[in-house]
Amino acid sequence: MRDSGGNTVGVQVRFFAAAAEAAGTDAATVQVARDLSVADAAAQAGGRSSELNRVLTFSSYLVGGLRESGQKRLADLTDLTDLTIDVLPPFAGG
């Protein structure tokens, strides 16, 4: 999604392994506040279930293909255009 230029930004969140199971989907596209953290944006995209929130606490995040902390604010990212967050929980065999 494109950067709206206002207080919100469009983000596509892709969930993998246990995160996809907890979110009930492999991907979601949402409009979120720029002041949210990466993890909070993922939680909002995934419906904020308690199981998803648990998985998000130990997941890794790729933002635009680069590893970022779940605590990093979206507003502090270099480029908010076509923003994609990948949620990667640890998994066996990978």
Q: For 4-15, what is each residue's pLDDT tens digit?
A: 457 999 999 999
Q: How confident is the model at residue 2 (pLDDT cuts 50, 70, 90)?
A: very low
Distance between CA atoms of residues 94 and 83, nearest Å: 25
Asked whether residue 1 is domain-assigned, the answer is no
Asked whether residue 36 is domain-assigned, the answer is yes
Q: How confident is the model at residue 93 (pLDDT cuts 50, 70, 90)?
A: low
- The parent domain of residue 78 ranges over 8-88
Asked whether residue 94 is domain-assigned, the answer is no
Contact 23, 15 (CB under 8 A): yes
**Percent of the chain topping pLDDT 90:** 81
**Percent of the chain topping pLDDT 70:** 91
pLDDT in tens, 26-64: 999 999 999 999 999 999 999 988 999 999 999 999 999
Question: What is the tally of structural domains in the chain?
Answer: 1
Asked whether residue 33 is domain-assigned, the answer is yes
The whole-model pTM stands at 0.89
Give the CATH number of the domain where residue 20 resides: 3.10.20.30
β-pairing verdict for 8-15 and 66-68: unpaired
